[in-house]
């Protein structure tokens, strides 16, 4: 992601958290960023901040759950800025799930934003990238998708779906000349994690997360995960038998 003449980078979920920090750092590096989120006010603030550091962020308000709007936004970015070189699909939200008052609408909302929002983005950018036999796509998931965690039944399910989908698409994208990467952060300080009522081990700031992502985007790694001293511990949990896994989670969370 060094400073050079190249196509725009499309970042969804750019109004706050990881998406905002990433868009601002890319703009500071000299990249032209097309930033999407639902809040025009927050996007305008991002564009102002980018100008202060000599960068360019063009704003494209968007609800990623709207399939037609995602396709139209991708077309508008191409018309304004040229072919999309890289798309980072970072839009996402979280709502806790408890068995008391279990609500299907929570699952539907998170599936529409976290999972289908990425699917809509893929549908919008893949045809041009396939035709050009070039392009770069990064999907932001989470270590919450590795195994089930209390109160994350909906959020974790959407993140697990993203991980599985990215793995399934990887070889096809390789054959098409498209670089596909999966981003699995641990705990990052964002407006969403600020609402968590539990301790978050190895919590990092969004600016540091953006640095880790940018370093990963220029690498050949399929998965970009951080902070590794935490995420590799979570990876090990995937290999544990259920009795031991549930015992450890119960001990850690008090559930």
CA-nearest of 40, 45, 55, 54 to 9 is: 55
Ranges assigned E (strand) in the chain? 9-12, 32-36, 56-59, 86-89, 136-140, 179-185, 188-189, 204-205, 223-226
**Residues ≥6 apart with Cβ < 8 Å to 155:** 94, 95, 96, 97, 110, 114, 142, 144
Phi first, then psi, for residue 135 (nearest 5°) are 145, 165
CA-nearest of 224, 122, 216 to 178 is: 122
Contact 50, 22 (CB under 8 A): no
**Residues ≥6 apart with Cβ < 8 Å to 171:** none
Which residues are known to be catalytic? 155
Nearest-angstrom CA–CA distance, 238 and 203: 21
């Amino acid at each position: 992601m060094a400073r050079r003449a190249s196509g725009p980078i499309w970042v969804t979920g750019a109004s706050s958290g990881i998406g905002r920090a990433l868009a601002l750092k890319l703009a500071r590096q000299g990249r032209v960023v097309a930033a999407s989120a639902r809040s025009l006010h927050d996007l305008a603030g991002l564009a102002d901040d980018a100008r202060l550091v000599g960068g360019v962020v063009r704003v494209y308000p968007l609800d990623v759950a709207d399939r037609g709007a995602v396709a139209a936004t991708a077309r508008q970015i191409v018309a304004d800025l040229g072919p999309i070189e890289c798309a980072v699909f970072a839009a996402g939200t979280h709502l806790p799930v408890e068995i008391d008052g279990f609500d299907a609408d929570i699952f539907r909302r998170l599936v529409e934003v976290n999972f289908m929002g990425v699917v809509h983005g893929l549908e919008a950018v893949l045809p041009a990238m396939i035709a050009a036999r070039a392009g770069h796509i990064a999907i932001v998931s989470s270590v919450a998708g590795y195994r089930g965690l209390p109160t994350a039944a909906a959020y974790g399910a959407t993140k697990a779906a993203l991980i599985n989908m990215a793995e399934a698409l990887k070889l096809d994208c390789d054959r098409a000349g498209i670089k596909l990467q999966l981003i699995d952060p641990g705990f990052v300080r964002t407006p969403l994690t600020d609402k968590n009522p539990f301790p978050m081990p190895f919590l990092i700031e969004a600016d540091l997360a953006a640095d880790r992502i940018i370093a990963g985007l220029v690498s050949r790694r399929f998965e970009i995960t951080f902070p590794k001293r935490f995420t590799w511990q979570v990876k090990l949990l995937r290999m544990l038998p259920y009795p031991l896994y549930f015992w450890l989670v119960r001990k850690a969370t008090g559930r």
